[in-house]
């Protein structure tokens, strides 16, 4: 490998993109377009959200009869399709689980929950002090809403069952994502999605062109090696990916007023890695097409799995369970997850490294396969 | 094997199969250094396939080849050869100048040097006024001229030119051939394919190729003498007929 040859290839690819105003426009306008259109339109049903219940309710013991526990009735009414419940005793350790991302929310019933509720129902001048505390990861808006809805449904069902009408308060105390809106949740996803999609398609189409107009052959007849070609493309598209991210974030901050709490440089790193995976995929696919028109036919196979499975527009929790394993085979899944954790939760490399590592493995694997496919093409 | 040899190209039983079909079939070719060798033959004869193998763009299915004394593909001679593909092999999304620069840089030529050579070559292929034009806006013949300039920029010792004059107007074609004669004097070797018989006359030697192998090979004059014909077209037809099995004799012909 010679650096000057890699640089020559990289520069050539860059000039090619920059010279073509249409491609350039697509690289920067498509993301904004996608952000605007999809950002307004999406929501999904949420299932299997991990929550932790800490029930400190001491119940209410009337002078005669058994002690009643209103909390237990409410818990029995929680929709277990939506939430996976785990019980814990210590609110501090439970909260830590949410902080660590092992659960999305902590639902806390305080000691005198039933007592306060019963007293209130007997005497309307009694203060509204029967409270359920929800401390959640609110950065993912539709999950937050799903948890809130499930709890309030359970509460109203309980009240109908028991024939009492205490005013129960649900207090939400977010761990992450205070004030997060759907657009905040959505932007990290769109970042990964557009970079993945555009990089894959652009390499696919340019490479099919290189194969059919003789330029690839001319370059292969020169001292430039297959590895140097792939490296040259990688350099340019990695860089372009980062420029796209910078531009998209700028627009998102200025016009959509999105929230970023973490270190954006980590988002850049993530997306650059994803770009490497994408361009390799483009080169691999290009070996299966003889003409650019044939390459176009691959688009659905690239777009659909990513679109549906990688958690871009709705969280993976909203994907049917049997499909979920496939999500983990789609590289953008990890980029979406990492970008979201960085931008909404402010997580650092110490927390997102598993995502980065997997992306890195994907990138190395795919780059090697792309190089191999170029070598095999000589056969 | 690394011998100081008088041959620029030497192949022995070189073959290329595409899923069972033999595009190049047990071909033995020797081209001396400083020679201009013309490969002639109908469409699909295997000329392009042969050249691609000699440039290490595709790997042979069988047989051996030595280029400039070194066996390919491991010979490491790629910086000494220039390949002009049949498809123009220029980047349509780059300007004329950007194309030339790229093909200079990948050979590690310094920028100043590239600029000097670029100016000369642009004059030669008559594209000076098109320097900053996108290659996609050039006419077909101009693209071929640019392609030739890109091939010559790193001043290779051995040139593989696959139909370099297609679509180039007569006046420029004459100047192309003058240029070829010129660089031959500087010990360059050229392997060229063409369908223009009037051009083929300029070659030191000609190989008639059909169905993946050479059916005759000699200087244009000797080929015409041997076949008893007075044009290269007729000479080719004559050799082609001699080569064919009786069953095939009813069909066939040369293009152009
Ligand atoms: N990649 C390939 N896969 C399958 N067949 C191929 C491939 N490349 C060439 N061929 C076949 O090999 C034969 C020789 O093709 P080649 O391009 O070498 O011919 P040619 O002599 O250069 O013809 P022309 O004068 O038209 O350029 C043709 O029959 C062609 O169909
Ligand atoms: Mg050909």
Could you report the per-residue pLDDT of A287-342, keeping only the tens digit for each? 888 777 888 888 888 888 888 888 887 777 777 888 888 889 999 999 999 998 88
Residues lining ligand 1, Cβ inside 6 A:
B 18, 23, 41, 43-49, 86
pTM: 0.80
> Does B158 score more than 60 pLDDT?
yes
pLDDT digits (tens, 9 = 90+) for A93-128: 999 888 888 888 899 998 888 888 888 777 777 777
Residue A165's pLDDT band, with cuts at 50, 70 and 90, is low
Distance B221 CA to ligand 2 centre (A): 25
Q: Taking the domains of chain A in order of start, what are their residue ranges?
A: 49-172, 181-378
Outline where DSSP puts E strands in chain A: 49-55, 83-88, 105-109, 131-136, 169-172
The CATH homologous superfamily for domain A49-172 is: abc type-2 transporter like domain (3.40.1710.10)
User: In chain B, what are the domain boundaries?
Assistant: 1-80+157-248, 87-155
| Nearest-Cα residue of chain A relative to residue B86 | A214
Task: For residue B83, give both structure tokens.
Answer: 């390949």
Largest CA distance in chain B: 61
Which of B15, B18, B52, B212 has the most ligand 1 atoms within 8 A of CB, as the residue to mutate?
Answer: B18
Verify whether the Cβ–Cβ distance A16 to B91 is below 8 Å: yes
Mean pLDDT of A81-97: 90
pLDDT above 90: percentage of residues in chain B: 60
The minimum CA-CA distance between B106 and chain A, rounded to whole Å, is 5
CATH of B1-80+157-248, one of 3.20.20.70, 3.10.180.10, 3.40.190.10, 3.40.50.300: 3.40.50.300
Task: Identify the residue whose tokens are 């040097």.
Answer: B113
The residue among A179, A200, A196 whose CA lies nearest residue A307 is A196
pLDDT, one tens digit per residue, over B182-232 is 888 888 999 999 988 888 888 999 999 999 989 989 988 888 888 888 888
Nearest-ligand number for the alpha carbon of B20:
1
pLDDT at A239 over 60: yes
Which residues fall within 8 angstroms of residue A349, CB to CB, at 6 or more apart? Answer: A266, A356
Give the model's pLDDT for residue B1.
46
| Torsion of the alpha carbons at A133, A137, A140 and A145, rounded to the nearest 10 | -10
Contact B235, B207 (CB under 8 A): no
Identify the weakest region by mean pLDDT among A156-170, A228-242, A345-359, B23-37: A156-170
Question: What ipTM, to 2 d.p.?
Answer: 0.89
Residue A261: pLDDT band with limits 50, 70, 90:
confident
Planar angle of CA A131, A135, A139, nearest 5 degrees: 140
Sheet holding A49-55, edge to edge: A83-88, A49-55, A105-109, A131-136, A169-172
End-to-end Cα separation, chain B, in angstroms? 40
For chain A, list residues whose CB is within 8 angstroms of any CB belonging to chain B: 2, 4-5, 7-9, 11-12, 15-16, 19-20, 209, 212-215, 217-224, 378-379
Higher pLDDT: A129 or A165? It is: A129
Q: What is the dihedral of CA A223, A224, A228, A232, to 10 degrees?
A: 140
């Amino acid at each position: 490998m010679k650096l000057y040859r890699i640089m020559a290839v990289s520069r050539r690819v860059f000039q090619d993109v920059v010279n073509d105003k249409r491609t350039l426009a697509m690289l920067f306008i498509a993301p904004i377009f996608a952000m605007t259109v999809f950002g307004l339109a999406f929501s999904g049903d949420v299932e299997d959200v991990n929550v932790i219940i800490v029930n400190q309710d001491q119940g209410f013991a009337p002078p005669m009869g058994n002690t009643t526990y209103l909390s237990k009735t409410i818990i029995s009414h929680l929709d277990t399709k939506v939430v996976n419940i785990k019980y814990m005793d210590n609110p501090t350790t439970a909260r830590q689980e949410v902080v660590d991302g092992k659960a999305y929310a902590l639902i806390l019933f305080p000691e005198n929950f039933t007592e306060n509720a019963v007293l209130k129902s007997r005497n309307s001048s009694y203060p509204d002090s029967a409270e359920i505390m929800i401390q959640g990861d609110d950065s993912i808006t539709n999950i937050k809403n799903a948890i809130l809805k499930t709890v309030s449904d359970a509460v109203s069902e309980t009240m109908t069952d028991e024939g009492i009408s205490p005013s129960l308060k649900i207090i939400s105390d977010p761990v992450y994502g205070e004030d997060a809106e759907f657009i905040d949740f959505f932007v990290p996803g769109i970042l990964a999605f557009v970079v993945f999609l555009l990089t894959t398609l652009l390499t696919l189409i340019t490479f099919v062109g290189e194969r059919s107009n003789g330029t690839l052959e001319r370059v292969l007849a020169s001292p430039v090696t297959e590895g140097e070609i792939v490296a040259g493309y990688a350099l340019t598209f990695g860089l372009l990916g980062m420029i796209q991210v910078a531009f998209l974030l700028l627009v998102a901050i200025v016009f959509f007023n999105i929230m970023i709490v973490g270190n954006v440089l980590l988002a850049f790193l993530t997306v650059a890695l994803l770009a490497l995976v994408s361009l390799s995929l483009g080169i691999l696919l290009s070996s299966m097409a003889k003409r650019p028109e044939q390459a176009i036919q691959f688009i659905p196979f690239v777009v659909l799995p990513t679109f549906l499975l990688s958690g871009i527009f709705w969280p993976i929790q909203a994907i049917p369970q049997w499909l979920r394993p496939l999500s983990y085979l789609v590289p953008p899944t990890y980029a979406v997850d990492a970008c979201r954790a960085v931008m909404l939760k402010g997580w650092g490399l110490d927390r997102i490294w598993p995502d980065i590592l997997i992306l890195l493995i994907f990138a190395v694997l795919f780059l090697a396969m792309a190089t191999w496919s170029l070598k095999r093409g000589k056969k | 094997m690394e011998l100081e040899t008088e041959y620029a190209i030497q192949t022995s039983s070189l073959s290329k199969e595409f899923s069972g079909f033999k595009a190049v079939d047990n071909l033995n070719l020797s081209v001396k250094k400083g020679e201009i060798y013309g490969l002639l033959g109908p469409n699909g004869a295997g000329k392009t396939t042969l050249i691609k193998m000699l440039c290490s763009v595709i790997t042979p299915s069988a047989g051996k080849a030595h280029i400039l004394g070194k066996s390919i593909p491991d010979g490491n001679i790629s910086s000494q050869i220039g390949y002009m593909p049949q498809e123009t092999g220029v980047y349509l999304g780059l300007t004329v100048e950007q194309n030339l620069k790229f093909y200079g840089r990948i050979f590690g030529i310094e920028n100043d040097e590239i600029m000097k050579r670029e100016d000369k070559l642009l004059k030669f292929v008559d594209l000076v006024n098109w320097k900053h034009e996108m290659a996609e806006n050039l006419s077909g013949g101009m693209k071929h001229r640019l392609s030739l300039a890109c091939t010559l920029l790193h001043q290779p010792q051995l040139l593989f030119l696959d139909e370099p004059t297609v679509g180039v107007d007569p006046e420029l074609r004459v100047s192309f051939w003058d240029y070829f004669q010129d660089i031959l004097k500087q010990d360059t070797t050229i392997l060229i394919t063409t369908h223009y018989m009037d051009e083929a006359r300029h070659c030191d030697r000609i190989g008639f190729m059909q169905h993946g192998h050479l059916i005759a090979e000699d200087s244009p004059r000797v080929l015409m003498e041997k076949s008893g014909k007075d044009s290269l077209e007729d000479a080719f037809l004559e050799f082609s007929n001699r080569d064919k099995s009786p069953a095939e004799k009813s069909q066939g012909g040369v293009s152009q």
